[in-house]
Amino acid sequence: MKGGYPKLSITVTNKHEVNVKHFESVLGGKVYFDRGGYGSYKWSIQSQNNIEMFLDYIKKFPSRSHKKQRLFLTPKFYELKSLKAYKPDLDSAQYKAWIRFNESWQEKG
């Protein structure tokens, strides 16, 4: 959570810039060099619109990553976020749904 509400970001990492530049040109976002580890290029998106475009892209060109299961949870994330289900209210069915969502998210990672 950042700024009091949850945010979602998607990154694609590769040691060759050309392999992530394609995502930037097709889907927007930013490419930057991450000096951590041995250094790699990362493409990153955060806006809901860009993430939805990425999900459409993944439907055409399926991901082989083990984290692809999280991509299927993304619409539920935005649904619960719009309901502000992340706000702690232990008696709220929405908050309980948020807790279950988080558990599923962690299992899929």
Q: Within 10 A of 73 (CB to CB), how many other CB atoms are there?
A: 15
Out of 41, 62, 83, a domain closes at: 62
Q: Do 71 and 98 reside in the same domain of the chain? A: yes
Q: Do 37 and 52 reside in the same domain of the chain? A: yes
Please provide the DSSP assignment of 14-68 as one string.
Answer: ESSTHHHHHHHHHH--EEEEE-STT-EEEEEE-SHHHHHHHHHHHHHS---STTH
Q: Do 21 and 51 reside in the same domain of the chain? A: yes
Q: Do 56 and 89 reside in the same domain of the chain? A: no
Domain containing 16: what range?
1-62
Q: Do 58 and 69 reside in the same domain of the chain? A: no
Q: Do 50 and 93 reside in the same domain of the chain? A: no
Q: Please say if the pLDDT value at position 1 is more than 70.
A: no
Number of domains, the chain: 2
Percent of the chain with pLDDT over 70: 96
Q: Do 52 and 24 reside in the same domain of the chain? A: yes
Q: Do 52 and 8 reside in the same domain of the chain? A: yes
Mean pLDDT of 71-83: 94
Of the spans 2-6, 91-95, 105-109, which averages the highest pLDDT? Answer: 91-95
Q: Please say if the pLDDT value at position 13 is more than 90.
A: yes
Q: Do 48 and 71 reside in the same domain of the chain? A: no
Average model confidence (pLDDT) for the chain? 91
Q: Do 49 and 72 reside in the same domain of the chain? A: no
Output the pTM of the full model.
Answer: 0.84
Q: Do 54 and 69 reside in the same domain of the chain? A: no
Residue range 36-75, pLDDT digits in tens: 888 999 999 999 999 999 999 998 988 888 788 899 899 9
Indicate the pLDDT class of residue 21, thresholds 50, 70 and 90.
Answer: very high
Percent of the chain with pLDDT over 90: 72
